[in-house]
Structure 1
Amino acid sequence: MLITDQVLAIDAAEAGAAIVRSHYGSSLTRIDKTGGDFATSADLDAEKAIVDILRAARPDDVVLGEESGRTGPAGNGRMWLVDPLCGTLNFAVRNMLVSVNVALRAGARVAVAASADPFTEELFWTDGDAAYVRSGGSDERLVPSAGSGLVDVNLDPPFPNRDVFLAARMLADDGFIERFRPRVVSTTLAVAWVAAGRRAAYVTDGDLSDSVHFAAGIAICQAAGCVVTGIDGQPLHTGAGGLVVAADEETHAALLALIRNQRAGV
């Protein structure tokens, strides 16, 4: 029987999460990359497990992995985006705030996606129409909420728009301080938390087109009904780029106003 894309995404993400869990607390081989970034043996082993599952089921699809790069034939318009361990630095210092992300872009649209938390064993997923969290074998529909007032802000470089937007400056804005409370989780698990109502919003700079880190979380948020744009309010992957994901229009508008405050001061 042919496995569906959604089931495949879930199976692959859960397989990667199991590998990440198995490596936790062990002695990790470190593989240095550019700009001070690095991977570990957990990243590599989790990615291999995920890619092996995708390759076996979809040999004609492209797979873009954070560690192994782009592999497979081109031409059918389908590409799997694989982030085997989002939050490597967290994991390397035995912090459990990490995620495993798998998404399928079919044409211009991310059709299905899964983001797994290896330690709570929750799995956030979307079939492209709605978004859910799976825990203990049961699925619950995701419902965004801005009630917490918590906003996750990515403070990691690069900062391509630093002349007109810098997350650290936004955190010092009196308007932000009066309305929101910042959080810095340093993993895109926090993007899925917006869809789940555990965060009011998430903000980051950068070019996120075909990002293995963000594709799954963005798709989950869109399917859950979050407001999703670039940092300038433009459609995603246009204009200045970046990402503002908010639980509702009011929160989104407030964050865009704070971002515009920075532009006004340039």
Structure 2
Amino acid sequence: MINSTARLDDADDVDVAIAAARAGAEAVHARYGQRLSRMDKGAGDFATDADVAAEAAILDVIRAARPEDAVLGEEGGQHGAADAVRQWLVDPLCGTLNYAVGNMLVAVNVALRNGPAAAADPFSGEVFFTDGDTAWVRSDEGDSRLAPTAATRLVDMNLDPPFPGAPGFRAVDLLAHPGFVERFRPRVVSTTLALAWVAAGKRAAYVTDGGDLAGNLHFAAGIALCRAAGCVVTGVDGAPIGQGGEADQSGQGQVGRGLVAAADAETHSLLMSMIRSRG
């Protein structure tokens, strides 16, 4: 693996993902606590100048290392052909609302579609990454293999509206399920950093409502990490989700909507039984 000063000309894609996520995380960290400009996106959503700066830093890394690749960014949109064989999915600051109010629970997500991915925590300094086959976390102590476990019994949920799966299912419905409160304890981090935590054994599972995650740049890195770590990942309907959060192109039936990422099969099965009983 490369270090922060190494050239990226001949780097593997996983090295590019790590370097890009780190660059974005540095931009986010540098602007923390500053007065931020907000750019309204409608429906209560907004971006800040930290989002924009982080995406620019990520793009600089990708362009330098992979000038022919396309990039889809949360703030800048499509760069290069949308149907390019190689496309990077960039969420420069997941958890903007948290960040804007001084909460440090955020993530910087970079994923090559159907390939390596990285998610950086700007404040812990950790970078969670995968080459597509194995998943690791890089910290000051070095690299450690991610080992998911349900031991914490903590389940993160995305409770932000809208609820595209309603009335059939909403993640918030699990909070009222007697089986859930007997077995698990809910958490609401409001960032896909929670998916990295499932892969790392800091969370037992993560659940988000029934939207279509096909090509979704917010979830691509987290899904890739969970898959490579050995987690069980499906839609809230139990159907498979394609690689990198894309729609399944295998022709094997329906494509999963929403997301249930669990540390192990038992936890996934328990959550699915609760979801189905609420549907």
Q: TM-score range by the shorter chain?
A: over 0.9
2:269 is matched with which residue? 253
Is 1:33 the equivalent of 2:41? yes
Match of 1:226 in 2: 231
C-alpha separation between the residues in 2 aligned to 1:42 and 1:35?
A: 20
TM-score (norm 1): 0.95
Runs of 4+ with >6 A deviation? none
Distance in 1 between the 2:256 and 2:221 partners? Answer: 21
Q: Deviations over 1:151-198 (max 9, x none)?
A: 001001221111110111111111111111000000000001000000
Q: Which deviations, in whole Å up to 9, do the C-alpha atoms of 1:91-133 show, x marking residues without a partner? A: 000000000000001xxxx210000000000000000110000
Q: Write the distance in 2 (CA, Å) between the matches of 1:245 and 1:136.
A: 27
Q: What pairs with 1:176-187 in structure 2 (closer than 5 Å)?
A: 176-187=180-191
User: Residues of 2 paired with 1:63 and 1:158: CA distance?
Assistant: 27
Q: What is the CA–CA distance in structure 2 between the aligned matches of 1:61 and 1:73, rounded to whole Å?
A: 9
The one-character-per-residue Cα deviations of 1:169-228 (angstroms, maximum 9, x if unpaired) are 111111111111000000000001000000000000122111111100100000000000
For 2:140, the aligned partner's letter is G
1:202 is matched with which residue: 202, 206, 212?
Answer: 206
Q: Name the CA distance, whole Å, in 2 between partners of 1:212 and 1:240.
A: 16
Aligned residue type for 1:20: V
Equivalents in 2 of 1:84, 1:27: separation in Å? 18
Could you tell me how far 1:73 is from its partner in structure 2?
3.4
Q: Which residue of 1 aligns with 2:89?
A: 81
The structural deviation recorded for 1:240 is: 5.1
Residue equivalent to 2:147: 143
Q: 1:55 to 1:161 in 2, by over 3 A?
A: same
**What residue identity is the alignment partner of 2:172?**
A
Unaligned runs of 5+ in 2: 1-8, 242-246, 248-253
Task: Report if aligned partners of 2:156, 2:186 keep a CA contact under 8 Å in 1.
Answer: yes
Q: Deviations over 1:68-87 (max 9, x none)?
A: 00111355411100000000
Match of 2:244 in 1: none
Provide the C-alpha distance between the structure 1 equivalents of 2:40 and 2:141, rounded to a whole number of angstroms: 37
The aligned counterpart of 1:60 is: 68
Residue aligned with 1:111, SS: coil
Question: CA 1:254 to 1:40, structure 2 compared with 1: closer, same or farther past 3 Å?
Answer: same
What TM-score does the superposition give when structure 2 sets the normalisation length?
0.90
Partner of 1:16: 24
Which amino acid in 2 is paired with 1:212? L
Q: Cα deviation per residue 1:38-93 (whole Å; 9 max; x = unaligned)?
A: 00000000000101211222122110000000111355411100000000000000
**What is the letter of the counterpart of residue 72 of structure 1?**
G
Q: Percent identity?
A: 63
CA distance in 2, matches of 1:136, 1:240: 37
CA RMSD of aligned residues (A): 1.1
CA distance in 2 between counterparts of 1:158 and 1:63 reads 27
Residue 153 of structure 1 contacts residue 184 of structure 1 at CA under 8 Å; is this kept in 2?
yes
The answer (yes or no) to whether the contact 1:121–1:135 under 8 Å persists in 2 is yes
What is the aligned partner in structure 1 of residue 102 from structure 2? 94
Q: Secondary structure of the equivalent of 2:93?
A: strand
SS of the equivalent of 1:186 reads coil
Cα distance in 2 for partners of 1:76, 1:203 equals: 31
With over 3 angstroms needed to count, the CA separation of the structure-2 counterparts of 1:231 and 1:98, relative to structure 1, is same
Name the SS for the 1:33 alignment partner. Answer: strand
Contact map agreement 1:61 1:80 (CA 8 A) in 2:
yes
Q: Please list every run of 5 or more consecutive structure 1 residues that lacks an aligned counterpart in the other structure.
A: none
What residue is the counterpart of 1:213 in the other structure? 218
User: How big is the shift at 1:239?
Assistant: 3.9
* Contact preservation (8 Å) 2:169, 2:278: yes
